[in-house]
Amino acid sequence: MAETIRRQRLNAGSSGPLACIAACLAFLLAAGCSKNEVPAPARTFGGPAEVTLILSGGSSTKGGQDGTGSLTKAGAVDESSPVRSIRIYAFKHAPEDPVQNNELVGYIMYSGFEGSGPHYCRMGLTASGDIDFYVIANDLYAVTGAQLDEGSTREEIERFRFSGLYEHEGQSAVPMSNIMTGDSEAIGSNNFSFHIDENDPSTPVIPIQVSRAMARLSLFLLNASDEGTASLTSATVYQGPDEAGLFSADGAPAYGGTAPSDRFVSTEHTLKGVTGVLQDEDYEMIGEEAYILPNTSGSLDADEFIPEGNSQETRAYIVSLTFMVNGSERQEEVYLPSVSPNDWIRIYGAVSSRIDVNLKVLVDSWDIHEIDIPPFM
């Protein structure tokens, strides 16, 4: 029996002179009304400014390996250095004025980061006032049809899509971004829009939280049988979306005609034997981890597909596990719940006999923590 646990972590026309006169009067009335409408005043922006963005997100955790045949990861992801490259765009915040709103006032690109951060990024702006910041980490390591650069527009940034991970200069990293939290007009408290004072004699330090645009999938297994041996011989995750975005809370997954698959465990792993009352610490992480795209389709039950909301069975993730128990092969399929960016999906399994494998799925947030911001020197 398997279970799924999730923690909390928008009249007919007429013709003739009378009709003509009526139309003219309607036009004049409409014109008169429009004269009384007061247009929204243009936002005022100041002159150039210097800012320092301090980026935090993620922590030191062991990542996946073995990208052979994988659609969602490549090579080894070293989670001790979750940020490898950073790209930051700054635009004027003026949603009521499309021209102002699309004016780029700053851009920087950094690469070669090491360690878990936080990372300081000094940036020059050509204007001050209310500014929107798009922070993208590790897009160099994402499989995508179009790359971002210093000329990318706000629309191109928001529509950026990726389908998996790409090994760049022998390394892999999970794409990350700053998701807006709260209202778009909550300047200074929505992780996206900030007021920059032109007359500030110091360089303002802006804290921004970036989070992974993918989810992490791990297996924690043990052998609870009183006798005999058990091992995991393979694990494959299949179905799900073909691509996802960076700046949507649900990852904005898109689905194509072919269901991708990722065999993330391909070598045999013997399961540790544990008897008696099982504790959380008895379970051992087995094999490699997978990095999967966000998915709005999921199941309320791990044993069978029970749709979450309008979820579709052909789009929900399924994890296929193959065990060898006392020389006999046993296969289990696990339906995953819906998957959000920065989720950590953990499948716990206890092999208790040749015919019984007890499984449960736990979904939690993937290692987000607060960081105290030291003075910038």
CB 253 within 8 A of CB 241: yes
Q: pLDDT tens digits, residue range 125-166?
A: 999 999 999 999 999 888 887 889 999 999 999 999 999 888
Residue 349 within any structural domain of the chain: yes
| Among candidate residues 212, 232, 254, the one where a domain is terminated | 212
User: How far is CA 375 from each of CA 55, 204, 372, rounded to the nearest angstrom?
Assistant: 14, 10, 10
Q: Which two tokens stand for residue 124?
A: 């020059």
Task: State whether 162 and 175 are in the same domain.
Answer: yes
Task: State whether 188 and 304 are in the same domain.
Answer: no
What confidence category does residue 9 fall into, taking pLDDT thresholds of 50, 70 and 90?
very low
Which residue has better confidence, 208 or 113?
208
> What's the mean pLDDT in 169-194?
89
Task: State whether 149 and 196 are in the same domain.
Answer: yes
Task: State whether 242 and 183 are in the same domain.
Answer: no
Task: Encode burial over 339-374: b for 16+ CB neighbours within 10 A, e otherwise.
Answer: bbbbbbbbbbbbbbebeebebbbbbeebbeeeeeee
Q: pLDDT tens digits, residue range 258-298?
A: 667 888 898 999 999 988 888 888 899 988 888 999 999 99
Between CA 243 and CA 144 the distance in angstroms is: 9
pLDDT at 352: 81
Q: What is the CATH number of the domain that holds 272?
A: 2.60.40
Task: State whether 255 and 165 are in the same domain.
Answer: no
Residue 9 within any structural domain of the chain: no
What confidence category does residue 55 fall into, taking pLDDT thresholds of 50, 70 and 90?
confident
What confidence category does residue 195 fall into, taking pLDDT thresholds of 50, 70 and 90?
very high
Residue range of the domain that includes 261: 214-365
Between CA 180 and CA 266 the distance in angstroms is: 38
Number of structural domains the chain divides into: 2
- Which H, E and C letters describe the chain, residue by residue? CEEEEECCCCCCCCCCHHHHHHHHHHHHHHHHHHHHCCCCCCCCCECCEEEEEEEECCCCCCCCCCCCCCCCCCCCECCCCCCCEEEEEEEECCCCCHHHHCCEEEEEEEECCCCCCCEEEEEEECCEEEEEEEEEECHHHEECCCCCCCCCCHHHHHCCEECEECCECCEECCCEECCCCCCCCCCCCCCCEEEECCCCCCCCEEEEECEECCEEEEEEEEECCCCCCEEEEEEEEECCCCEEECCCCCCCCECCCCCCEEEEECCCEECCECCCCCCHHHCEECCCCEEECCECCCECCCCCCCECCCCCCCCCCEEEEEEEECCEEEEEEEECCCECCCEEEEEEEEEEECCEEEEEEEEEECCCCCCCCCCCC
| Among candidate residues 154, 186, 212, the one where a domain is terminated | 212
pLDDT at 221: 92
Which amino acid does the sequence have at 271?
A: L
Mean pLDDT of the chain: 80
pLDDT at 37: 56
The most confident of the ranges 143-147, 168-172, 343-347 is 343-347
pLDDT at 114: 76
Residue 359 within any structural domain of the chain: yes
pLDDT at 173: 86
What confidence category does residue 235 fall into, taking pLDDT thresholds of 50, 70 and 90?
very high
What confidence category does residue 246 fall into, taking pLDDT thresholds of 50, 70 and 90?
very high
Task: State whether 116 and 259 are in the same domain.
Answer: no
Between CA 238 and CA 241 the distance in angstroms is: 10
- In a 10 Å sphere around its CB, with 0-12 CB exposed, 13-18 middle and 19+ buried, how is residue 187 labelled? middle
Residue 231 within any structural domain of the chain: yes
Residue 253 within any structural domain of the chain: yes
What confidence category does residue 12 fall into, taking pLDDT thresholds of 50, 70 and 90?
very low
Q: pLDDT tens digits, residue range 69-120?
A: 233 333 457 666 788 889 999 999 999 999 999 999 999 998 887 776 788 8
Residue 95 within any structural domain of the chain: yes
311 pLDDT above the threshold of 60: yes
Residue 356 within any structural domain of the chain: yes
Examine residue 118 and say whether the peptide bond preceding it is cis (omega within 30 degrees of 0).
yes
pLDDT at 169: 77
Task: State whether 130 and 220 are in the same domain.
Answer: no
| Among candidate residues 194, 212, 230, the one where a domain is terminated | 212
Q: What is the pTM of this model?
A: 0.79
> What's the mean pLDDT in 212-226?
90
Which residue has better confidence, 25 or 287?
287
Task: State whether 267 and 347 are in the same domain.
Answer: yes
CB 289 within 8 A of CB 63: yes
Whose CA is closest to 5, among 300, 376, 321? 300
64 pLDDT above the threshold of 80: no
